[in-house]
């Protein structure tokens, strides 16, 4: 008898369970994302659609997503381990996207890989004897890091200036112009957006 | 690293603590059924929901009915999400034409989101349709958080009330949590995140022409989607399941230092404020502040260790002639740097959030030990939305009981005698996750199917497995992501661990709440142990740390501790 009552009471709860689930799903799964999208597309259309950068009317990237650069006349970004090529935010065929290396701190592969990157950088600019900033030889978390540190940009100034036939001081000035400081003076780290810097370089020469 | 990192940390803690009282007070009003300033808009919606669902809000439930309705509701959510993921390929809003999610992965993801874990065996941008992201994952981000809040409120009522078996109405607690707390906060945060560059659109991926074709890539496909609406609630609801594979390390999910700060704030905002809600509801805010003090002290200590460890760089790279003044940058983003990355790692594992803005697998040994141990402490240092505080209250019960035994007093908490039944439930709440983590790790290491997923060689590989079960067995969701966890073995066993960690804890919590509600209030006497003093705060910290250390030191010794000892000796794996 007691058991019967309890069972009935639970059955009695089935309707609220199904109806509330449906209502809350519509509210949080449709109306809420639609409302945010509506506000976003009106108030912040550029940001909401990927912060795209255009050159001569053609979208050439996003200010937020790094791009692969291998020509020595460009500033190089951080190493990226997205597959199958660096800086691949989405590969529709292989279905791969953002990714870090996940190599542990005592990984032989990590040390070998970093050593290879050090040698490649030195080979590209043999006269440069400065210590290489660590962000230029380590892979980012996303594989899409759009930034390098200010030191990493300065390190590359001699190479870029030489290959573009520019004065080092001019290139340094450009780096400084594209350096973003800490937000409100204390949040995050100073950094240089590689895509924007290279776009500015191309505009000059 | 420099003093800016420490300044960020200090300002973070300051702003968090400033927000505790206003939000905590507001939530107390919501749960006590009082009118709030949002009632003008939301009260009609609330009434409409109850009418359609034939819920009588004044009809209260005993703990069995409360638990039963909760389990039924969660089961419906689980089945719905599983089904949605299995048939996403025939539904709309699938611009990239993704196929159905495989059965084991769909099971894992559905369990993961329903249990507020949000472990990701999948990559969002390569697996989930827009419909799955919104109607499936975003919904469970809200509802799993609301479930946790409801359980906490029932437990608080158990402490406050006496000689009754009524704990409140689950439907009311669930609905009010979603409508009055989660939804408004998520709306504000989502718009703020869009302003920083988090994408929010129903359009398919954008295709751009790259600048340097000699690099091999002529075009770049930029996956978009309604990310901001999901990221906001995944941070606020201590869910952690991201829109993209690398979670909040992805520039479209966390584009700037400011978005990073807001997302970090959102991780601890509700869990921290709930301590005030608790104090307010039990009629003695000092009780809430003392718990918050214990949480904050442990957090500051652990975050300090992690930030210091990551800022030292990696000694294994020292001989290569590189400048490591930025710290250990493998697996980190330049815009955040080591300080904001290590701080995030600590916050996300203190709360059972599990979102990441850096790859924990590439942290230094000591820096990786911190998030792992934070999870193993049972997700009670702030912990999940609702679940953190109810877990913490289980530790309080144990602390009060042990102290009572030591001095020969009858243990009591907030005027309720703590007896054998409460102790049994508290012990279950504390021990079930420990057993889940250790047994899961052991099984995975013994079986070839478990070892097959290991990515890094040596102790780091062991750490990957220990981390995975620590994460699933405490409903966290972060990972040492080298582990190849998208296999039938890991999807199934981690899914099981998540279910146990969630529901095998919720039921004892509600049983304890039911038992406490039935008791009489005993008046405070000279023999009562005060639970708001610095002495008690220290004692509570001691109990948490001792239980956590005794349970996991042997396991940690085989992973991060041995690696820390080998650091700089030249031994590599």
Please give the Cα distance from A196 to A199 (Å, whole number): 5
Q: Are residues A102 and A185 in the same domain?
A: yes
- Tell whether B566 is within 8 A of chain A (Cβ): yes
Q: Any idea of the CA torsion for B476, B477, B480, B482, to the nearest 10 degrees?
A: 170
CB-based contact B94:B534 (threshold 8 Å): no
CB-based contact A143:A80 (threshold 8 Å): yes
Q: Which residues pair with A183 in a beta bridge?
A: A187
Q: Provide CB contacts within 8 A for B377, sequence distance 6+.
A: B298, B544, B545, B547, B548
Nearest CA in chain B to A93: B126
Which residue, among B357, B316, B322, B365, has the nearest Cα to B338 in the 3D structure? B357
Angle at B349 between CA B190 and CA B288, to 5 degrees: 85
> Which structural domain, as residue segments, surrounds residue A80?
51-204
Q: Are residues A186 and A159 in the same domain?
A: yes
Which residue, among B238, B139, B241, has the nearest Cα to A21 in the 3D structure? B139
Q: Where are the beta strands (DSSP E) in B319-445?
A: 322-323, 412-413, 416-417
pLDDT at A130 over 70: yes
How is residue B212 written in tokens? 């340097």
Tell me if A28 and B138 make a contact (CB, 8 A cut-off).
yes
Give the pLDDT of residue A1: 42
Q: Provide CB contacts within 8 A for B452, sequence distance 6+.
A: B484, B487, B489
- Tell whether B163 is within 8 A of chain A (Cβ): no
Please give the Cα distance from B504 to B396 (Å, whole number): 19
- Residue A140 DSSP label: -
Number of compact structural domains in chain A: 2
Q: Are residues A83 and A168 in the same domain?
A: yes
Q: Are residues A14 and A78 in the same domain?
A: no
Q: Are residues A89 and A152 in the same domain?
A: yes
Centre a 10 Å sphere on the Cβ of residue B413 and count the other Cβ atoms it contains: 22
Nearest CA in chain A to B484: A102
Give the pLDDT of residue A3: 53
Please give the Cα distance from A100 to B479 (Å, whole number): 12
Please give the Cα distance from B273 to B26 (Å, whole number): 9
Q: Are residues A24 and A60 in the same domain?
A: no
Residues of A in contact with B198 (CB under 8 A): 47
Q: Provide CB contacts within 8 A for B566, sequence distance 6+.
A: A106, B459
Q: Are residues A56 and A117 in the same domain?
A: yes
Residues of B in contact with A6 (CB under 8 A): 64
Give the pLDDT of residue A205: 67
Tell me if A140 and B331 make a contact (CB, 8 A cut-off).
yes
- Cβ burial, residue B5 (10 Å; 0-12/13-18/19+): buried
Q: Are residues A114 and A186 in the same domain?
A: yes
Q: Are residues A165 and A193 in the same domain?
A: yes
Q: Are residues A9 and A60 in the same domain?
A: no
Nearest CA in chain A to B57: A16
Q: Provide CB contacts within 8 A for B506, sequence distance 6+.
A: B67, B70, B147, B151
Q: Provide CB contacts within 8 A for B572, sequence distance 6+.
A: A106, A107, A108, A111, B316
pLDDT at A87 over 60: yes
Tell me if B125 and A90 make a contact (CB, 8 A cut-off).
yes
**Stated pTM of the model:** 0.97
Q: How far are the Cα atoms of A13, B216, B393 from residue A98, in angstroms, in the given order?
A: 44, 18, 39
Give the pLDDT of residue B221: 96
CB-based contact A50:B224 (threshold 8 Å): yes
Helices (H), B312-364: 337-350
Q: Provide the greatest CA pair distance for chain A.
A: 94
Give the pLDDT of residue B514: 98
Backbone torsion region of residue B178, taken as left when φ is above 0, otherwise alpha when ψ lies between -120 and 50, otherwise beta: alpha
Q: Are residues A184 and A96 in the same domain?
A: yes
Which residue, among B143, B243, B233, B136, has the nearest Cα to B188 in the 3D structure? B233
Tell me if A59 and B316 make a contact (CB, 8 A cut-off).
no
**Which pairing describes strands A96-97 and A90-91: parallel, antiparallel, or unpaired?**
antiparallel
- Closest CB to A189 among B136, B220, B337: B337
Label residue A93 by pLDDT band (50, 70, 90): confident
Tell me if B222 and A62 make a contact (CB, 8 A cut-off).
yes
Please give the Cα distance from B46 to B39 (Å, whole number): 9
Residues of A in contact with B458 (CB under 8 A): 104, 106
Give the pLDDT of residue B1: 53
How is residue B9 written in tokens? 């940390």
Tell me if A69 and B215 make a contact (CB, 8 A cut-off).
yes
Which residue, among B429, B428, B401, has the nearest Cα to B543 in the 3D structure? B401
Which residue, among B354, B348, B413, has the nearest Cα to B381 in the 3D structure? B348
Angle at B357 between CA B354 and CA B363, to 5 degrees: 90
> For each of chain B's 573 residues, which pLDDT tens digit applies?
578 999 999 999 999 999 999 999 999 999 999 999 999 999 999 999 999 999 999 999 999 999 999 999 999 999 999 999 999 999 999 998 999 999 999 999 999 999 999 999 998 889 999 999 999 999 999 999 999 999 999 999 999 999 999 999 999 999 999 999 999 999 999 999 999 999 999 999 999 999 999 888 899 999 999 999 999 999 999 999 989 999 999 999 999 999 999 999 999 999 999 999 999 999 999 999 999 999 999 999 999 999 999 999 999 999 998 999 999 999 999 999 999 999 999 999 999 999 999 999 999 999 999 999 999 999 999 999 999 999 999 999 999 999 998 888 889 999 999 999 999 999 999 999 999 999 999 999 999 999 999 999 999 999 999 999 999 999 999 999 999 999 999 999 999 999 999 999 999 999 999 999 999 999 988 888 899 999 999 999 999 999 988 899 999 999 999 999 999 898 999
Q: Are residues A16 and A72 in the same domain?
A: no
- Tell whether B221 is within 8 A of chain A (Cβ): yes
Q: Provide CB contacts within 8 A for B48, sequence distance 6+.
A: none
């Amino acid at each position: 008898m007691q058991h019967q009552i309890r069972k009935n009471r639970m059955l009695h709860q089935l309707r609220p369970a199904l109806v509330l689930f449906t209502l809350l799903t519509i509210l949080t799964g449709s109306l809420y994302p639609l409302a945010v999208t509506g506000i976003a597309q009106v108030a912040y259309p550029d940001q909401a659609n990927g912060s795209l950068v255009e050159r001569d009317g053609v979208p050439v990237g996003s200010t937020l997503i790094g791009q692969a650069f291998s020509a020595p006349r460009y500033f190089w970004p951080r190493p990226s381990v997205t597959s199958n090529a660096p800086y691949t935010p989405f590969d529709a065929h292989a279905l791969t996207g953002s990714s870090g290396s996940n190599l542990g701190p005592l990984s032989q592969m990590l040390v070998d890989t970093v050593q290879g990157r050090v040698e490649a950088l030195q080979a590209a600019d043999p006269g440069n004897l400065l210590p290489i900033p660590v962000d230029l030889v380590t892979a980012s978390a996303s594989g899409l890091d759009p930034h390098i540190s200010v030191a990493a940009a300065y390190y590359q100034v001699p190479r870029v200036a030489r290959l573009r036939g520019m004065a080092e001081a001019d290139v340094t000035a450009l780096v400084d112009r594209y350096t973003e400081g800490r937000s409100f003076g204390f949040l995050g780290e100073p950094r240089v957006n590689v895509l924007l810097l290279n776009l500015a370089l191309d505009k000059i020469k | 690293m420099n003093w800016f990192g420490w300044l960020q940390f200090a300002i973070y803690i300051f702003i968090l603590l400033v927000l505790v009282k206003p939000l905590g007070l507001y939530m107390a009003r919501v749960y006590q059924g009082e009118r709030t300033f949002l009632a003008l808009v939301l009260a009609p919606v609330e009434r409409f929901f109850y009418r359609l669902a034939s819920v009588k809000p004044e009809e209260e439930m005993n703990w069995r009915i409360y638990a039963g309705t909760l389990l039924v509701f969660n089961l419906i959510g689980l089945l719905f999400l599983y089904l949605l993921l299995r048939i996403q390929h025939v539904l709309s809003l699938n611009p990239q034409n993704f196929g159905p999610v495989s059965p084991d992965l769909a099971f894992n993801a559905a369990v993961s989101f329903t249990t507020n874990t949000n472990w990701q065996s999948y990559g969002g941008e390569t697996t989930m349709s827009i419909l799955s992201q919104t109607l499936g994952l975003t919904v469970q981000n809200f509802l799993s958080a609301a479930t946790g809040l409801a359980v906490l409120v029932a437990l608080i009522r158990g402490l406050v009330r006496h000689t009754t078996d009524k704990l409140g109405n689950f439907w009311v607690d669930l609905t009010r949590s979603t409508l009055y707390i989660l939804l408004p906060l998520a709306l504000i945060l989502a718009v703020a995140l869009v302003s920083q560059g988090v994408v929010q659109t129903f359009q398919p991926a954008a295709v751009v022409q790259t600048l340097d074709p000699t690099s091999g890539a002529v075009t770049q496909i930029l996956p978009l989607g309604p990310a901001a609406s999901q990221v906001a609630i995944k941070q606020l609801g201590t869910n952690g399941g991201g829109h993209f594979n690398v979670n909040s390390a992805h520039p479209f999910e966390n584009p700037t230092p400011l978005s990073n700060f807001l997302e970090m704030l959102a991780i601890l905002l509700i869990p921290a404020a709930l301590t005030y809600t608790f104090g307010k509801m039990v009629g003695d805010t000092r009780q809430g502040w003392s718990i918050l003090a214990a949480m904050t002290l442990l957090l500051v200590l652990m975050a300090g260790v992690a930030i210091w460890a990551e800022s030292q760089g990696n000694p294994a790279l020292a001989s290569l002639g590189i400048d490591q003044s930025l710290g250990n940058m493998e697996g980190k983003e330049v815009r955040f740097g080591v300080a904001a990355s290590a701080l995030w790692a600590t916050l996300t594992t203190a709360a059972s959030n599990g979102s990441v803005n850096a790859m924990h697998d590439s942290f230094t040994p000591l820096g990786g030990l911190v998030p792992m141990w934070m999870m193993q402490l049972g997700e009670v240092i702030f912990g999940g939305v609702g679940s953190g505080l109810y877990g913490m209250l289980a530790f309080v019960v144990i602390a009060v009981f042990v102290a009572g035994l030591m001095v020969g007093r009858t243990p009591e908490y907030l005027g309720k005698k703590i007896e054998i039944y409460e102790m049994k439930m508290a012990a279950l709440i504390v021990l079930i996750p420990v057993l889940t983590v250790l047994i899961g790790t052991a099984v995975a290491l013994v079986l070839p199917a478990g070892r097959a997923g290991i990515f890094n060689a040596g102790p780091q590989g062991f750490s990957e497995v220990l981390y995975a079960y620590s994460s699933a067995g405490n409903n966290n969701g972060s990972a040492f992501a080298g582990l190849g966890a998208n296999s039938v073995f890991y999807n199934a066993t981690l899914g099981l661990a998540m279910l146990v960690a969630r529901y095998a804890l919720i039921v004892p919590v509600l049983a304890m709440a039911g038992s406490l509600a039935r008791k009489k209030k005993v008046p405070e006497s000279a023999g009562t142990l005060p639970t708001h003093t610095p002495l008690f705060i220290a004692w509570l910290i001691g109990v948490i740390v001792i239980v956590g250390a005794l349970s996991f030191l042997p396991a940690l010794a085989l992973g991060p501790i041995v690696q820390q000892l080998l650091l700089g000796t030249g031994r590599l794996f």
